[in-house]
Amino acid sequence: MNLEDYAVPDLDRVNRRGMSEVIYGAGKSAAQIIGIIKALNQAGQNACATRVSPEQAAEIKIALPGAAYHAVAGLLTCDVAPLPEKRGCVSVICAGTSDIKVAEEAAMTAERLGVNVNRVYDVGVAGLHRLLSRLDQFKDADVLIVVAGMEGALPSVVGGLTAQPLIAVPTSVGYGASFGGIAALLGMLNSCAAGITVVNIDNGFGAAVAAALIVRRII
């Protein structure tokens, strides 16, 4: 199958937005991802695909030996140019170990966009002392990304304790009444801490892009 039969890579995006097009891997075949990566690389651009399964990654790496798979984050990268020099700092804070997949998607995306990342994991509100004992680890960050499932309370707590821009990421982690992350999403949208920005369920990638854009404007 020819590339033009299924995709039109946006090779000018790097000039408009300062970042190359990122491939959403879910729903694509490995062959389709390979074709888009090749087009980006041939244009001198690094390639990154999100939501890539281990099975997709194994097939892609046969065709593209230079590709690297980051299993926890679900990211596959294939670089042909240096990554941006890092500046500023984003702290990625997640409530529980079950949220780390989404948190790592955010953290690794931010790093690839040229931002230093500080990870603060497993500090959910069920053990509030864990969060309070680690406030010093993110008090100087330029932007906070706070990832949580269940009832989604962590961003509200962090937002009440800090002064940085805060991007909240609800995850689909939780029991039945979490409704696949809708409970966390609504909890974050209804936060009593003012100024919190909320992205969609499990959208660590989107949170990282927003955070990187903020850092670029202030650093």
Q: 121-158, pLDDT tens digit by residue?
A: 999 999 999 999 999 999 899 999 999 999 999 999 99
Q: At 1, is the pLDDT very low, low, confident or very high (cuts 50, 70, 90)?
A: confident
Give whole-number Cα distances, 2 to 7, 60, 61, 123, in Å.
9, 17, 20, 47
**66 and 93 share a domain?**
no
**135 and 65 share a domain?**
no
**124 and 163 share a domain?**
yes
Domain extent at residue 194: 87-218
Give whole-number Cα distances, 159 to 19, 78, 183, in Å.
29, 36, 18
- Among residues 43, 78, 113, the one where a domain terminates is 78
**95 and 156 share a domain?**
yes
- Among residues 78, 113, 134, the one where a domain terminates is 78
**Which CATH number belongs to the domain containing residue 191 in this structure?**
3.40.50.1970
pTM passes above 0.75: yes
5: tokens are 């039969």
**72 and 11 share a domain?**
yes
**139 and 64 share a domain?**
no
* Those residues with Cβ within 8 angstroms of residue 27's Cβ, 6 or more apart along the chain or in another chain: none
**99 and 193 share a domain?**
yes
Total number of domains constituting the chain: 2
- Confidence check: pLDDT of 203 > 90: yes
Digit-coded pLDDT (tens) for 36-87: 999 999 999 999 999 999 999 999 999 999 999 999 999 999 999 999 999 9
- Among residues 37, 53, 78, the one where a domain terminates is 78
Asked if 67 contacts 79 with a C-beta cutoff of 8 angstroms, the reply is: no
